[in-house]
Structure 1
Amino acid sequence: MRVVENLNQALHGLLEREPRAYLLGEDVADPYGGAFKVTRGLSTRFPERVLSTPISEGAVTGVAGGLALTGDTAVVEIMFGDFVALAFDQLCNFAAKSVSMYGKRLPLRLIVRCPTGGGRGYGPTHSQSLQKHFIGMPGLSVYEMSPFRDNADVLQEIVERAEPAVFFEDKILYTRQMHEADPLFRVTVSDGLARADLDDRPDCVIIAPGGVAHRALQAMRALMLEEEISCRLLVPSRLYPLDVDALLPHLGDTVIVAEESSPGGTWGSEVAHQLHQRLWGRLRRPVGVVCSRDGAIPTAAHLEREALLNESEIRRAVLEALRG
C-alpha cells in the first residue's frame, strides 16, 4: 500500500468511527478528491460531512475550529502546506488558546493537514517546510507523517489527545510504499517512534522527521558500505511536544538532527537544546543540526536539489561529528 492510500484509508476509518467528524478543504470532494488525491472517495461515502470550501485557509480553519469547540472532530486539508500561514491566527490565537483559556481544560479535536516539502519542482511558495513556525506554541501539537507508522494510529492518537494539531505530510512520501526501507536495516516501531539500525552500538544516531527518513537511510547505507560507520535512525511521529525521554535509551555519544526546514529557529535546534540538557556529560560534541539552505526554493530541478537537504549533506554531517 502506498502512503497516500494508507492516509486515505485512515481518513475513511476516522469518519466511520466518529459520527461527528467533518473534513473540510479546497477541492476535497469527488471526483477531484484533493490536489494529491488523499480525500478520494470520502465525499461520496460521507456527503454531508466532507465539504469543499471557498479558497480561504483562514476561514476554513476558523470554521473547523468552531466545530471542534462545540465537541465535533474537524479535519482541515490545506491544499499546500505553505498556505497554512494564512491560518496562523486561527491556530495561534484561537484553537491553541481555547484548550485552556476558559478556566478549565476544553477538548478541541482539530487536525490541520499540510502537504509539505519540496522535491517536485513546485517553486518557492509551494515547496516549503514550515514546521518550525509552529514549534513551541502552547496547546498545539505538531506531527509529521512517517512511512513507518500507520496513519490510522496517528489520527486516532491526535483525536484522543483532544488538542489541536498540525499534521505535516511530506509530498514525496505520498507515492512511496508503507514500511518501505533499505533491506540493510531492521525497522521497528514502538510508542510512535520508528527505529532503523544495523546493530545495538551505532557510531552515530540520526533523528529525523518522516519526510527526511529515506534520505537519512541512504546516507546510512553509504556510510556503512564506504566508511564502515554504523548509524541508527530515529523517526518520531509527534515533533512537538517531543517526548525526549523516549529518545534517550536509543541515543549514544554522537547525535545529528536532520530536517528539511530552512536554517534558524528550527525543530532540530529545539531537539538539540533539549538533548544538551540531558546528555551533556556523555556527548562527544554538541548535537549537530543539518537542514536545507537559506533562501527561496527554486523551481528548476537541478537548483532545487542544491537548495534542499539531501543524502550527501546528512552523510557529511555525520562524518564531521565523528571526526571533528
Structure 2
Amino acid sequence: MRVAENLNAALHAVMDRQQDLYLLGEDVLDPYGGAFKITKGLSTAFPERVLSTPISEGAITGVAAGLALAGDRAIVEIMFGDFAALAFDQLLNFAAKSVSMYGETVPMRMVVRCPMGGGRGYGPTHSQSLQKHFIGIPGLALYEMSPFHDNLAVFEEMLARAEPCVLFEDKVLYTRQMHQVDAPFSVAVAGGVARVFLDDTPDCVIVAPGGVAHRVVAAMRSLLLEDEIGCTLLVPSRLYPFDVEVPAARHVFVVEESTAGGTWGAEVAHHVHQRHWDRLAGPVTLVHSAGSVIPTASHLEREVLVDEADIHRVIRKVVRG
C-alpha cells in the first residue's frame, strides 16, 4: 500500500467510526477528491459531513475550530501547506487558546492537514516546509506523516488528545510504499517512534521527521558502505511536544527540510542537551535546506533542498573529524 492509499483509508475509517466528525477543504468532493486525491470517495460515503469550501484558509480553519468548540470533531485539508500561514491567526489565537482560556478545559478535537515540502517543482510558494513556525504554541500539537506510521492510529491519537493538531504531510511521500526500508536496515515502531537501525551500537543517532526519512536512510546506507559509519534513525510521529528517548551515542544529528533558524531541530537539540550532554562528543548537529526560496526548475530545486549527499557529507565530517 502506498502512503496516499493508507492515508485515504485512514480517513474513511475514522469518518466511519466517529459520526460527529466533519472534513472540510477546497475541492475535496468527488470526483476530484482533493488536489492530491487524499479525500477520494469520502464525499460519496459521507455526503453530509464532507464540506467543500471557498478559498479561504482562515475561514476553513475558523469553521473547524467552531465545530470543535461546539463539541464536534473536524479535519481540515489545506490544499498546499504553505497556505497554512493564512490560517495562523485561527490556530494561534482561537483554536489553541480555546482549550484553556475559558476557565475550564474545553476539548478541541480538530486536525489541520498540511501537504508540505519540495521535490515536485511547485515553486517558492507551494514547496516550503513551515513546521518551525508552529513550534511552541501552547495547546497545539504537531505531527508529521511518515511511511512507517499507520495513519489511522495517528488520526485516532490526534483526535483523542482533545486539542488542536497539525499534521504535516510531505508530498513526496504520497507515492512511496508503506513500511519500506532498504537492506541491510530493519525498522521497528514503538510508542509512536519508528527506529531504522542496523544494530544496537551505532556510531551516531539521527532524528528526522517522516518527510526526509528516505533521504536519511539512503545516506545511512552510503555512510555504512563507504565510511563504515553505522547510524540509527529515529522518526517520531509527533514532532511537538517532543518526548523521545534518544539512545546512547556520542554523536546526534537532526535532519529537516526547513531552512535554519528557530526550527524543530533546535527544539530537539535542546531536549537532547538537557538529558544527554555528558555523553555527547559535541553539540547536536542540525542539517537543513539552504536559506533560499525554493526554485521551480528541478536542477535548481535540488541545489536548495537537503538531500542524501548533504546528510552524508555532514555526518562524515563530524564523526570522522
State TM-score, norm by structure 2. Answer: 0.99
Q: Which residue of 2 aligns with 1:247?
A: 245
In the alignment, which residue of structure 1 is the partner of 2:201? Answer: 201
Structure 2 stretches of 5 or more lacking a match? none
Aligned to 1:269: 266
State the SS of the aligned residue for 1:196.
strand
Q: Secondary structure at the match of 1:187?
A: strand
Aligned to 2:228: 228
* TM alignment of 1:159-170, pairs within 5 A: 159-170=159-170
- Cα deviations by residue, 1:196-234 (Å, 9 ceiling, x for unpaired): 111110001110000010000000000011111110000
Partner of residue 299, structure 1: 296
With 272-281 and 185-194 compared, the bigger mean Cα shift is at 272-281
Letter matched to residue 247 of structure 1? E
Give the number of equivalent residue pairs: 321
Q: Is the 8 A contact 2:227 2:316 kept in 1?
A: no
Residue 229 of structure 2 aligns to which amino acid in structure 1?
A: I
Consecutive unaligned residues of structure 1, counting only runs of 5 or more, are none
* Deviation (angstroms), 1:251: 3.6
Q: Distance in 1 between matches of 2:242 and 2:153?
A: 17
**Moved beyond 2 Å, runs of 4+:** none
Q: Distance in 1 between matches of 2:37 and 2:228?
A: 42
CA RMSD of aligned residues (A): 0.7
In the TM superposition, 1:107-256 aligns within 5 A as 107-243=107-243, 246-248=244-246, 250-256=247-253
1:183 CA drift (Å): 2.1
1:111 alignment partner AA: V
Q: How do 1:274-289 and structure 2 match up within 5 A?
A: 274-289=271-286
Who is 1:14 aligned against? 14
> What is the CA–CA distance in structure 1 between the aligned matches of 2:318 and 2:248, rounded to whole Å?
14
Contact 1:30 1:40 in 2 (8 A): yes
> Deviations along 1:164-197, whole A, 9 cap, x unmatched?
0010000000000000111210100001000011
8 Å CA contact 2:147–2:210 kept in 1: the answer is: yes
Deviations 1:113-157 (A, max 9, x none): 000000000000000000000000000000000100100000000
Aligned twin of 2:307: 310
Q: TM-score, normalized by length of structure 1?
A: 0.98
Residue 50 of structure 1 aligns with which residue? 50
Distance 1:25 1:251 in 2: 43
- The letter of the residue matching 2:263 is T
The sequence identity of aligned pairs, in percent, is 68
Give, as a single letter, the amino acid of the residue that structure 2 aligns with 1:32.
Y
> Could you tell me which amino acid in structure 2 is paired with residue 84 of structure 1?
A
